[in-house]
Structure 1
Amino acid sequence: MTFTLIAINIVAFFLEQRDPNLLIGLLALWPPSPAVAADEPVFHFWQLLTYSALHANLTHLLFNMFGLYVFGREVERTIGHLRVAALYVASVVSGALVQIAVSFASTHSYPTIGASAGVFGLLVSYAILFPHRRVVLLFPPIPMPAWVFATGYGVLELFMGASGEEADVAHFAHIGGMLGAIALMAYWWRSRHHSWID
């Protein structure tokens, strides 16, 4: 499933290059607005999922696919391909919902794109499953336990989102992705008598 998700993102990226304005207008996550001009993009319910398949540039795509590959494979080996797909979708949708909620308090109206919410959901799932496994930062290359890595990333995203730094980055979608994955993992834990695996 991890490789299928990566393939979907890569194919979507190349399709996006053919007509970016059309796909971003139709598939990116646009904040709901009560009144827009006839030619302006508007929110559609499918954007809660489709925004995750679009990326701003090749670097954006590569970083997200690297995270999806690193964390997705290990999570999938532990909980199976169906559950990793459910985790990814739940993270993407919850990331979208949090981003929309935050957009109501913001004066900015710009689209959200990228698989980051899904990747952050897999990151926190990895940290829950393997809390003491070592993860190495890319810059600088510092090893740390997975739970420290995920917690630190979550705190950093919250700080950057609240401070308004990098306003073009959907920090709250990242946080929403983590929250969605945590909620689904907790549900599975309780419903399956403290077991991640069927």
Structure 2
Amino acid sequence: MFVRTENFRQYIKYYPVVATIIALNLIIYILTMIPVIGDTIFYMGMSVNWLIAEGEWWRVITSTFLHAGFFHILFNMFSLFLFGPELERIAGKLRFITIYLFSGIFGNVATFIFQSGEYASVGASGSIYGIFGAYAALVYYTRNTMPQLKQIIMPIIIIGLIMTFLQPNINIYAHIGGLITGFLLGLAYFSPKNILRWRMK
């Protein structure tokens, strides 16, 4: 399910949304490496709670496309590369986009609500955990018909949550907020009624 065997061209053709998001994140990361210009992009886009409170609301969106270092973006984009395609195939392009974006946004909103005004963060991990949450909703609906899916997905989510609380410098609220948002959207998108409606179109 999460073993990628496509070549580069096939991957872009089959999963255009995931491929575009990965490319966008990589391009922005490269731009932030440029002296002076990179710092401006980074600090204008990062999520800073007190600046959001003063009206710079775009930061809850832009910060999901910024990363603090090579291993930060490597981990997030590898996770998206691995887990994103199957969800894009199941949910469809538009629904996948909403899961990815809204999970990242509401993860940052949760951070804004529960962290101090000085708290600042960047990264796509809220969106990544939103993907995990959507899979959890799929597990809920298929628990009796596809028990093997639960055996694959739930250990990934559990390990991810454990690492969230064990690793330093992790935005816990972005992870939890993203996970919950993805789960709720998944419950809405993957309900038997909605899936039947998709197939009848």
Q: TM-score range by the shorter chain?
A: 0.7 to 0.9
Closer, same or farther: CA 197–2 of 1 in aligned 2, 3 Å: farther
Give the match for residue 49 of structure 2: 31
> Of 106, 113, 119, which aligns to 1:101?
113
TM (normalized to structure 2)? 0.75
Name the CA distance, whole Å, in 2 between partners of 1:188 and 1:169: 29
Residue 30 of structure 2 corresponds to residue 7 of structure 1: no
Give the match for residue 143 of structure 2: none
Cα RMSD after superposing both structures: 2.6
Superposition map of 1:3-152 within 5 A: 3-18=19-34, 19-32=37-50, 44-104=56-116, 109-129=118-138, 132-133=148-149, 145-152=152-159
TM-superposed CA distance for 1:21, in Å, is 2.5
Contact 2:47 2:63 (C-alpha < 8 Å) held by counterparts: yes
Contact 2:132 2:157 (C-alpha < 8 Å) held by counterparts: yes
TM-superposed CA distance for 1:34, in Å, is 9.7
Q: Deviations over 1:21-57 (max 9, x none)?
A: 312221000012699xxxxxx7611111100111111
Name the CA distance, whole Å, in 1 between partners of 2:138 and 2:189: 12
Identity of aligned residues (%): 26
Contact 2:138 2:186 (C-alpha < 8 Å) held by counterparts: no
Give the match for residue 173 of structure 1: 174
Closer, same or farther: CA 128–27 of 1 in aligned 2, 3 Å: same
TM-superposed CA distance for 1:13, in Å, is 0.3
Q: Which ranges in structure 2 are unaligned for 5 or more consecutive residues?
A: 1-16, 140-146
Structure 2: which amino acid aligns with 1:47? Answer: R
Contact 1:90 1:180 (C-alpha < 8 Å) held by counterparts: yes
Q: Deviations over 1:143-178 (max 9, x none)?
A: x53123213423553x45xxxx62x22121111110
Contact 1:95 1:177 (C-alpha < 8 Å) held by counterparts: yes
- Number of residue pairs matched by the alignment: 173
Q: Deviations over 1:62-106 (max 9, x none)?
A: 1100100111101011111111111001101111011111213xx
Closer, same or farther: CA 148–34 of 1 in aligned 2, 3 Å: closer
Structure 2: which amino acid aligns with 1:195? Answer: I
Structure 2: which amino acid aligns with 1:173? Answer: A
TM (normalized to structure 1)? 0.76
